[in-house]
Amino acid sequence: MIHVYNTLSREKEAFHAITPGKVNMYVCGPTVYNYIHIGNARSAIAFDVIRRYLEYSGYVVNYVSNFTDVDDKIIQRAREEGVDEMTIADKYAQAFDEDTIPLNIKPATTRSRATAVIPDIIAFVEDLIHKGYAYESAGDVYFRAKKFKGYGILAHQDLAEMEANAAGRLDDQELTRKEDPIDFAVWKASHSSDEISWVSPWGKGRPGWHIECSVMAQKYLADTIDIHGGGIDLAFPHHTNEIAQSEARTGQTFVNYWLHNGFVNVNDEKMSKSLGNFTTVHDMLAHYDDPMVIRYLLATTQYRRPINYAPDTLEQARAELERIRTAYRNVFFRISTAKTGHDDSVDYAIAEHISHFREAMDDDFNTQNAIASIFELVTIANNYASRDEIKLDTATRLTHAIADLMNVFGINGLSEHLTLSAEAQALLDKRVQARAVRDFNLSDQLRDQLSDMGIIVEDTTQGQRWHHA
């Protein structure tokens, strides 16, 4: 049984899907006005791991996410660059794919852009007005926060505190347009002819930020969904407002389990533009040759904990991943010469550690404990590979176990570096034959030839093995 920490209840709860065997999951995506930063990548990877574990556990996951492609930041950026808003949004939506594919983040089942659902947004807002939860004011439409019972519960916000904060943030114009300072915009009037806008019953304008997620979750999933995810910084106001909008419209619970991921610090400091440590994934990928190391660092920390992105934590991630890859290869290289049959005691130990892995992941996706189970398999693999004789079934089971569990973390390709050209394979085969007849001159000559091709051959007591230089 999977247990998840629900931000709404502040407790770990047993996970029950609304429809057995299926999970409807919504995760907030980025605003496409710049390259995504490491915090966006952390959130995308955290929920990718959760999705992969749900799939590993037998669920069919319908995963919906958004691109916020219209807001103040995009409009400002378009002005700065002298292009229209959609040029900016298109560029960074495409960059999102370019940055997330190397990190092996599965594409959403549905990823929609806010501007693709404008008629749905308008219909949603009209319904809120009709139900008395929203009102038009000078072309804007605001949500009556206090009318919604339980507003602020998700982030445990006190109403008086919210009022004080809201009043401090608003300019006089906004204050006069609102009935109450804590009301929030679901539709914003356009105040300039050179910014993107749509015709609506309230004049030309564009959606407020929060409304798109409420609309997409309902349109592509259901009135009540199983899991909603995002960074902990989104709990207030974004998710708080999503709950108010959605539940005001449907009268149903919007989300059964609210999951929030923790922050990423850079060199032990909070990431911010003013500190100059704002790290984009685009830059990270350009400067780091192995994206799976970045993925390993971000995936193997439990999703609610903070991660420190720094040269030494990356180096540690690289070393750990290399240990896993090496153990995998140690067994992989023995498979071709393994005897048929299996070894009971090793099979038993493999099953035991798979079950520990599942226990750890069932406990609110505790990837830190789960990776410890993989390292138990690594030890077994290294010991088994050093035996004089190994059995095919057990060796196969061992490599599959490591590969399957690493796949939950989204780290594939453990044998990727083990592919060879037909030519290189032929030379390796020839070398095995040469050594069998003790023709060491030929064997050395073949080793040099392979070395020129970037393949380093080593002879071990269990036979020849190789790796790329």
Phi, psi values for residue 302, rounded to 5°:
-55, 140
CB of 208 to Zn ion, least distance (A): 12
d(CA 428, CA 12): 54
Least separation in angstroms between residue 213's CB and Zn ion is: 3
> Smallest distance, Å, CB 47 to Zn ion?
12
Distance, in Å, from the CA atom of 78 to the CA atom of 88, rounded to the nearest integer, reads 6
Please, which residue, 28 or 297, has the CB nearer to Zn ion?
Answer: 28
Token digits of residue 90: 């298109």
Contacting Zn ion within 12-31 (CB under 5 A): 28
**Nearer to Zn ion (CB atom), residue 28 or residue 427:** 28
Q: Any idea how long the chain is?
A: 469
In the complex with Zn ion, the residue whose CB is nearer, 152 or 230, is 230
In angstroms, the CA 373 to CA 375 distance is 5
Matching residue, tokens 């919906």: 64
Q: Look at residues 256, 258, 276 and name the one whose alpha carbon lies nearest to residue 266.
A: 276
Are the CB atoms for 297 and 309 separated by under 8 Å?
Answer: yes
Give the integer Cα–Cα distance in Å for 466 and 445: 15
* Minimum CB–partner distance for residue 173 and Zn ion (Å): 26
Q: How far is the CB of 234 from Zn ion (least distance, A)?
A: 7
Fill in the per-residue mask, 160 to 179: x = in contact with Zn ion (CB under 5 A), - = not in contact.
--------------------
Give the count of beta carbons closer than 10 Å to the beta carbon of residue 319.
10
Among 25, 54, 213, 248, contact with Zn ion (rule: CB under 5 A): 213
Q: Which stretch binds Zn ion (CB under 5 A): 99-107, 211-219, 292-300, 371-379?
A: 211-219
Q: State the nearest-atom distance from the C-beta of 28 to Zn ion, in Å.
A: 3
Q: Are 66 and 111 in contact (CB under 8 A)?
A: yes
Nearer to Zn ion, 114 or 346 (CB): 114
User: Considering only 143-151, 206-214, 248-256, 440-448, which stretch makes contact with Zn ion by CB under 5 A?
Assistant: 206-214
Single-letter amino acid, residue 23: V
Residue closer to Zn ion (CB basis): 213 or 294 = 213
Q: Rounded to the nearest whole angstrom, what is the least distance from the CB of residue 44 to Zn ion in the complex?
A: 13
State how far the Cα of 435 lies from the Cα of 66, in Å rounded to an integer: 59
Size of the site for Zn ion (CB under 5 A): 2
Considering the complex, state which of residue 213 and residue 402 has its C-beta at the smaller distance from Zn ion: 213
- CB nearer to Zn ion: pick between 256 and 300: 256
**Are 269 and 275 spatial neighbours (Cβ–Cβ below 8 Å)?**
yes
Positions in the binding site for Zn ion (CB under 5 A): 28, 213
